Amino acid sequence: MTDQPAKRSDAITRGPSRAPARAMLRATGLTDDDFAKPMIAVVNTWSTITPCNLHLGDLAEPVRRGVRAAGGAPIDFNTIVVSDGITMGGAGMRASLISREVIADSIELAVRGHSLDGVIILVGCDKTLPAAAMALARMDVPGLIFYGGSIMPGRHKACPISIQDVFEAVGAHSRGTIDAEELGQIERGACPGAGACGGQFTANTMAMALAMMGLSPMGSADVPAVHEDKPAEAERCGRLVVDLAKGEISPRRFVTPASLRNAATSVAASGGSTNAVLHLAAIAAEAGVEFSIDLFDELSRETPVIADLKPGGRYLAFDMFKAGGCRLFGERLREAGRIADTPTVSGKTLFEELSEASETAGQDVVLGFDKPLKSTGGLRVLYGDLAPEGAVLKTAGQSREAFEGPARVFDSEEDAFAAVEAGKIRAGDVIVIRNEGPKGGPGMREMLAVTAAVAGQGLAGEVALITDGRFSGASHGFVIGHVAPEAAAGGPLGRLRDGDTIRINVETRRIDTDADLAARDPAPVPPRPIRGGVFDKYARLVSSASRGAVTIQPA
């Protein structure tokens, strides 16, 4: 063993003093030959609580096979997942964003604690993707991310549907436009099996962004969860991670200003989730790379939406895969000069990967810059009386450039949802949901239950919704989240009152009120519904949403 090249795992496998460690490792099935190989952490977010991660246990075996074939020794770890779709609208949603930090921390502890040489992270539901990237950027240990892929389309009345349709059906049911039987049919038909939610929601948005950033092998994320080609992609990724470990190619090589800009461009051009603003800022923070959320506004003003994907468009991720996938989408961006050539974990540059794009004849999912779905990108960053540190407006799927109306102020998502369900919200209202930010929630819940109920009642785009919380990638309408500073941190939303006029101007990037906020005391912050343990730790440590809501503060 002493003639082998030095590697991280020597700390637990080499020399007489490591005999106790080797003795324990032998009990797991490792041999002298394995001790000489790169030891690769196969970190899995497998769980039976959500279809997004349901199949990752099965995909781990071809990953391990690829690791072994490339000359590595796979070492399995598991970490957690909190399902956004299942917890949405309830107290459990407060755990979702917090889980991003816990997942990243647990990966770091397992990999660094055992001095492993490389890491491949299998991901599915929303927070597992950015958490994996944050962990890689933080540790800077060679590794990559393998996304388990999207769910297949559901069906209702011979039409493809997704979980978005179920949330919106709840609103339609409360309005009386569908009955309980049809609601049940939609519920039963939306999710046919394993895989992450099917639109350009957060998981698929981040999968695309990570491929464009170079941290996930191009093409591996496109293949749907249950597709026959998925195990081959898993094995390919297992081989690649060993190559990265042998070459000591670190993740920070891939997380750069240029690659982050590529990732943000993909979000803008695909009409992706506003959560990407939060997550890319967090990944950049972990890598020590300067990053401003204003980049999304800059890019959205000059980048059209060229992917006709839900929630703002017609199609689902499976349709994108059949059309040509991320390669075809990225090739459109390359042809238009909107992205830079950067390295990727496959060993090829981004442009080399995109040059292999193949377009399915007659597809109309990925569009051209000459005939985009929308002339500008899907996000705006606003500032003003109500958001001194910024707020994020999702513009994909709606075209209003301004909104003015009376504030309808609620101190929780539940209160706002009850008002929508009871028919107390009218066209022209500005729904304000405060105390749902990173500290105040805690955990910055997503407001999909409210936005879907609004859409289900036919009011999407007819009302505005402002919150210091977040929005699901499935949300659409005139919705503004990430308002910073948040109400619980003394932000202006805490001084708003019912009836205050709110003015929103997309072109001038302003979100203001006619109320004299400085002359008012903030409304009392209600007691947090969940207290103690990790929730209190998070509330004490978390930064502003404008800085990614990370818990590791800059030095």
Angstrom distance (rounded) from CA 317 to CA 151: 8
Two tokens, residue 357: 């794009």
Considering only CA atoms, give the Rg of the chain. 23
With CA atoms as reference, report the closest residue to 491 among 425, 426, 416, 545.
Answer: 545
d(CA 401, CA 233) in angstroms, rounded, equals 43
Do 143 and 134 touch, CB atoms closer than 8 A?
no
Tokens of 175: 């309005």
| Among 320, 335, 331, residue whose Cα is nearest residue 356 | 331
Task: Report how far residue 202's alpha carbon sits from residue 473's, in angstroms, rounded to the nearest whole number.
Answer: 5
Q: How far apart are CA 309 and CA 120, in angstroms?
A: 29
Residue 221, CB-side half-sphere exposure with 13 Å CA sphere: 34
Nearest to 263 by CA among 281, 241, 286: 281
E strands within 15-71? 39-44
Token pair recorded at residue 66 = 């690829």
156 pairs with which residues across the strands? 159
Residues with Cβ within 8 Å of residue 137, at least 6 apart in sequence: 251, 252, 255, 283, 286, 287
Total Cβ atoms within 10 A of residue 22: 18
Which residues does the annotation mark as catalytic? 472
CA distance 260 to 141: 19
Is 366:324 a contact under the CB 8 Å cutoff? yes
In the 3-class helix/strand/coil scheme, how is 112-158 assigned residue by residue? HHCCCCEEEEEECCCCHHHHHHHHHHHHCCCEEEEECCECCCEEECC
- Angle (CA) 342-142-282 rounded to 5° is 70
Query: Distance (Å, rounded) from C-alpha 38 to C-alpha 242?
Result: 7
